[in-house]
């Protein structure tokens, strides 16, 4: 299987992640192929998608993927199949000529979020993350009694989801008073952190009141994106009791601008590895044969950091940690089944994020909170700089790839964002 597109290889043709880009005043859906993006709406208008049903063709011309997501797996497969036909080197010459008109160089494109995420749920699916964070704050009792029974999650703030590439302004916020009876301080967060996560994009939703059984969960998943759940740890520590994280998270959440379809990830399914001897059996609504067999994904994940100094020295982004999503305690299907078990409705485009992806080793910890033990033990970067927390000008890059012998490698779209300084004051009242 090869592509006629200049520079595109078999892995590119196999991957075909979905995105969206600005074209004059419009936002257009696209897929990535090599160093190019293909304008899907332009293909449709040119008649290249005439073999598809009218509702799929109409969905291709929308400014977000939501309409396509709502159509379900058959529609997704039909579109993916047709796009591959257009891009394979077996496509007739006149087709290639027509498609070539709608390819644009990636480096010139202004990418935007390809989904309108009405809901953003953040799970806590990494046992290693939960335990290490617990050790910091409850050394005697690091893992709460509910952890191995309940796929813990909270509602994130959907309005502040931004596409990777968008600068993130350091937030201001309240932090704990320095002594009892003192006033809390309101200032730029000094404990700014990233969280390495994977977000599952919901395809078809469910009707309010009608749970999705775990055996049906996979057909509700459209794809995945890397997600950076920025966290102001000082703000979070002061505000989070008793109702959970709020302003410590809601100033921005960056997501990679490319959605890898589940179809491209299926070959990388594996059995979940995080269970420990003596672990309780999850309740029946969270258990299913296929999920036990291969409900996890073997996706290698990395966090890289560049700083003002490292960039000035011409250095590449520096590796900070690396791990794998197979270390997660809860699977995507368990997240869907749990989320809807009370009747809560999911909608097309909703994001279900894993929470920080951390492995058993310290170097596989997916956030600075763990790596620096809440800022106490600064890490030393390869260029000699030290970091307890993120500084202004730091740029965090999340990367992920699936590799398996005999299979084309899938490299997920990066999630990159740079920290800009805080506002010095709140904007003045008008």
Q: What is the DSSP string of 21-34?
A: EEETTEEEEEEEET
Which of 2, 74, 89, 209 binds a copy of itself (CB under 8 A)? It is 209
Residues 394/311, Cβ–Cβ less than 8 Å: no
Which of 18, 194, 200, 251 binds a copy of itself (CB under 8 A)? It is 251
Interface with a copy of itself by CB under 8 A: which range of 27-35, 89-97, 158-166, 312-320? Answer: 158-166
DSSP helix/strand/coil, 130: helix
- 277 counts as binding a copy of itself under rule CB under 8 A: no
Which of 159, 363, 377, 383 binds a copy of itself (CB under 8 A)? It is 159
Which element (helix H / strand E) includes 226?
Answer: strand 221-228
Query: Residue 93, exposed/middle/buried by CB under 10 A (0-12, 13-18, 19+)?
Result: exposed
Which element (helix H / strand E) includes 320?
Answer: strand 318-324
- 318 counts as binding a copy of itself under rule CB under 8 A: no
User: Residues 81, 107, 128, 129: which is the catalytic one?
Assistant: 129
List the interface residues with a copy of itself, window 325-344 (CB under 8 A). Answer: 338-339, 341-344
Distance CA 96, CA 410 (A): 24
Residues 153/350, Cβ–Cβ less than 8 Å: no
Determine how β-strand 168-169 pairs with β-strand 415-420: parallel
CA angle 126, 364, 399 (to 5 degrees): 90
- Which of 281, 383 has the CB closer to a copy of itself? 281
- 346 counts as binding a copy of itself under rule CB under 8 A: yes
- 239 counts as binding a copy of itself under rule CB under 8 A: yes
Q: How far separated are the first and last CA of the chain, in Å rounded?
A: 61
Quick check: is 129 catalytic? yes
Contact track, a copy of itself, 218-237, x by CB under 8 A = --------------x--x--
- 216 counts as binding a copy of itself under rule CB under 8 A: yes
List the interface residues with a copy of itself, window 165-184 (CB under 8 A). Answer: 169, 171-174, 176, 180, 183-184
Distance CA 352, CA 374 (A): 26
List the interface residues with a copy of itself, window 25-64 (CB under 8 A). Answer: none
Which of 53, 246, 300, 311 binds a copy of itself (CB under 8 A)? It is 246
Task: Report, as residue numbers or ranges, the catalytic residues.
Answer: 129
């Amino acid at each position: 299987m090869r592509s006629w597109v200049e520079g595109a290889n078999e892995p590119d043709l196999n991957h075909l992640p979905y995105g969206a880009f600005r074209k004059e005043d419009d936002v257009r859906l696209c897929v990535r192929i090599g160093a190019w993006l293909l304008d899907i709406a332009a293909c449709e208008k040119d008649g290249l998608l005439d073999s598809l049903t009218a509702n799929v063709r109409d969905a291709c011309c929308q400014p977000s993927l939501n309409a396509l997501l709502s159509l379900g797996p058959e529609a997704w497969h039909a579109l993916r199949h047709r796009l591959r036909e257009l891009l394979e080197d077996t496509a007739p010459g006149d087709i290639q000529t027509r498609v070539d008109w709608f390819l644009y160089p990636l480096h010139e494109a202004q990418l935007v979020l390809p989904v309108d995420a009405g809901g953003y749920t953040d799970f806590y699916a990494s046992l290693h993350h939960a335990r290490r964070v617990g050790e910091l704050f409850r050394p005697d009792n690091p893992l709460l009694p509910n952890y191995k029974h309940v796929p813990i999650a909270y509602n994130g703030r959907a309005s502040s989801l931004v596409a990777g590439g968008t600068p993130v302004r350091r937030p201001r916020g309240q932090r704990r008073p320095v002594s009892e009876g003192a006033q809390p301080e309101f200032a730029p967060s000094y404990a700014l952190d990233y969280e390495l996560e994977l977000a599952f994009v919901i395809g078809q939703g469910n009707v309010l009141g009608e749970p999705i059984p775990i055996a049906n969960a996979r057909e509700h998943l459209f794809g995945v994106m890397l997600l950076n759940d920025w966290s102001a740890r000082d703000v979070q520590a002061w505000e989070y009791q008793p109702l959970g994280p709020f302003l410590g998270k809601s100033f921005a959440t960056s997501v990679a601008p490319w959605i890898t379809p589940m179809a491209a990830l299926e070959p990388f399914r594996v059995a979940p590895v995080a269970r420990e001897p003596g672990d309780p059996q999850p309740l029946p609504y969270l258990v299913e044969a296929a999920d036990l067999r291969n409900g996890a994904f073997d996706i290698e994940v990395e966090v890289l950091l560049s700083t003002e100094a490292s960039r000035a020295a011409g250095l590449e982004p520096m590796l900070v940690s690396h791990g794998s999503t197979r270390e997660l305690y809860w699977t995507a299907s368990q997240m869907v089944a749990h989320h809807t078990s009370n009747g809560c409705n999911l909608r097309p485009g909703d994001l279900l994020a894993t929470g920080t992806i951390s492995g058993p080793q310290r170097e596989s910890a997916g956030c600075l909170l763990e790596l620096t033990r809440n800022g106490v033990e600064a890490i030393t970067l390869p260029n000699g700089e030290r970091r307890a927390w993120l500084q202004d000008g730091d740029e965090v890059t999340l990367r992920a790839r699936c590799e398996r012998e005999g299979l084309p490698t899938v490299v997920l779209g990066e999630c990159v964002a740079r920290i800009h300084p805080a506002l010095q004051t709140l904007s003045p009242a008008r």
